[in-house]
Amino acid sequence: MTWHLKCREDAAKVIHPAASEAWKHFDKTHPTFADEPRNVRLGLCTDGFNPFGCFATPYSCWPIFLIVYIQPFS
């Protein structure tokens, strides 16, 4: 759970979300959360769409993606 802290490389290209400006901004904004490297950071994304293309139907599909940002990319 601490890979993002120990193995972070400051390179010219972003190879992990921990090297992004958004991650660094979050660390500066919430220092008490950033002090504990085992805190889990998640990304949540939803996108509602109508599966049959008919907008008169009373239902739609909402896929939900939950991404764990602290694991290494291999």
In tens, the pLDDT along 14-47 reads 677 777 888 889 889 999 988 888 888 888 888 7
Mean pLDDT computed over every residue of the chain: 76
Both tokens of 32, joined, read 């008490």
The DSSP code sequence of 3-33 is HHHHS----SS-SSGGGSHHHHHHHHH-HHH
Higher pLDDT, 40 or 6: 40
Query: Contact, 34 vs 26, CB < 8 A?
Result: yes
Average pLDDT estimate for 62-74: 75
Torsion of the alpha carbons at 24, 8, 37 and 34, rounded to the nearest 10 = -10
Higher pLDDT, 68 or 8: 68
